[in-house]
Amino acid sequence: MFQAQVKQRDAFFDNAKYLAIVLVAVAHAWEPLKGDSRILEGAYHVVYAFHMPAFIIISGYFSRSFDMRPDRLKRLVTGVAVPYIIFETAYPLFKRVVADDPGQDISLLDPWYLTWFLVALFVWRLTTPLWNLVRWPLPLALGIAMLASVSPSIGEDLDLQRVLQFLPYFVLGLCMKPEHFQMVRRRSVRLLAVPVFTAALAVGWWTVPRMGTGWFFHRDAAQQMGAPWWAGPVMVLAMFGCSLLLTACFFAWVPGRQMWFTALGAGTLYGYLLHGFLVKAGDYRGWFEPDWLHRPLGQILVSALAAAAVTLLCTKPVQRAFRFAMEPKMAWAFRQDAAQGAREREKAAEKAAAEATEKSLEKAPLG
């Protein structure tokens, strides 16, 4: 019997996005606690070395086909720019109310807490056609990141330091092919990832009194962190190498089959933007202050609660409730694209032809 072909989502990428967003939420929950534990702060360094690079590489990989076609530009506006405006406004308003801080400013030029990623994704996707055009995109992106790391004059508008210093990971994703992900998912790599992560945790513990966490955030130039200018390019390359190694190990451990959390991978942006309200509410209201939370069992409990909360925020009911902010249709804001209309009519005709063919095959006599 003839069956229409349906494009299936790759479970590996949904699993990777979900696990990465859980690490993001857990690491944010560690921030108020890590100052009392060198072990926790060392783990924080390790997680920050690869969780956002992994997420950004996947974002780049799925942006490879982006061009200036009107329908894709519309999705960029409605799925990235509009959520940025909404959440960049919502977070300061939330602080005004919950922290009783009526003087908190609202500024679309100064990304607040988590919203920097939306600015970065908007800029990166707009420049995708350029990266697909140049001959050596990754070396060029690394060069730009190195120059940014020695340029404190860039300032804080739109968090451009992060946009530029994280750029190589996005460009790397643009350059990757399916076989590259298959390479890191081999059994040998999974086994090698165990000693690599063990060594990384030891190095993370060692770096706690010796290396500021600012290097992991990529939001400042070297001079702004009290380091000589030449440390910026050196650290960009060093961090890029370490992040790629740990990201490869992370991908090696991501299951490729359907799991109970696979479907949640489609809602990771919801979990990313919404979990910040819970973390900030805890910070404003003193939820992290009890002494017992700063002991090992308390830290484990906070980690589990953060993982559970972000999991809940990735579910379908939450997606339906907040789709107006994350994925608004906004058909009223755009002109009708004649080419897009023609494509939709062509798809409808192909679907009708496939259905007619299937019905005719069903009615045909056997033998």
Residues 263 and 315: their CA atoms lie apart, in Å, by 8
Kindly tell me if the per-residue pLDDT of 6 is higher than 50.
Answer: no
- The mean of the pLDDT values for the chain is 88
Half-sphere exposure (Cβ direction) of 142: Cα atoms closer than 13 Å:
14
Q: So what's the pLDDT on residue 211?
A: 86
Contacts of 196 (CB under 8 A, 6+ apart): 245, 246, 249
Entry pTM = 0.87
Contact 26, 47 (CB under 8 A): yes
3-class secondary structure for 12-29?
HHHHHHHHHHHHHHHHHH
Kindly tell me if the per-residue pLDDT of 367 is higher than 50.
Answer: no
Kindly tell me if the per-residue pLDDT of 345 is higher than 80.
Answer: no
Radius of gyration of the chain (CA): 23
Residues 192 and 197: their CA atoms lie apart, in Å, by 9
pLDDT grade for 365, boundaries at 50, 70 and 90: very low
Contact 220, 161 (CB under 8 A): yes
Q: Tens digits of per-residue pLDDT, 100-118?
A: 888 888 888 888 889 999 9
Mean pLDDT, rounded, for 16-41 = 92
CA 211 to chain centroid, in Å, comes to 24
Q: Tens digits of per-residue pLDDT, 53-103?
A: 999 999 999 999 888 888 899 999 999 999 999 999 999 999 999 988 888
Q: So what's the pLDDT on residue 8?
A: 67
* CA distances for 165 relative to 19, 131, 154, 162, angstroms: 23, 16, 12, 5
* CA distances for 271 relative to 20, 55, 62, 201, 266, angstroms: 11, 13, 19, 26, 10
CA 88 to chain centroid, in Å, comes to 17
Q: Tens digits of per-residue pLDDT, 302-335?
A: 999 999 999 999 999 999 999 999 988 888 888 8
